[in-house]
Amino acid sequence: MRIEADPGRCVGSGMCALLAPGLFDQSEEDGTVGVRDGAPPDTQRATAAAAAAARCPAGAIRIGDG
| Domain residue extents for the chain | 2-64
Cβ contact 60:30 at 8 Å:
no
Residue percentage of the chain with pLDDT more than 90: 67
Please compute the mean of the pLDDT values over residues 5-31 and round it to a whole number. 94
Half-sphere exposure of residue 12, counting CA atoms within 13 Å on the CB side?
A: 6
Question: What's the pLDDT band for 45 if we cut at 50, 70, 90?
Answer: confident
| From 9-18, 40-49, 55-64, the region with the lowest mean pLDDT | 40-49
2-64 carries CATH number 3.30.70.20: yes
Judge residue 10's burial from the number of C-beta atoms within 10 Å of its C-beta, 0-12 exposed, 13-18 middle, 19 or more buried: buried
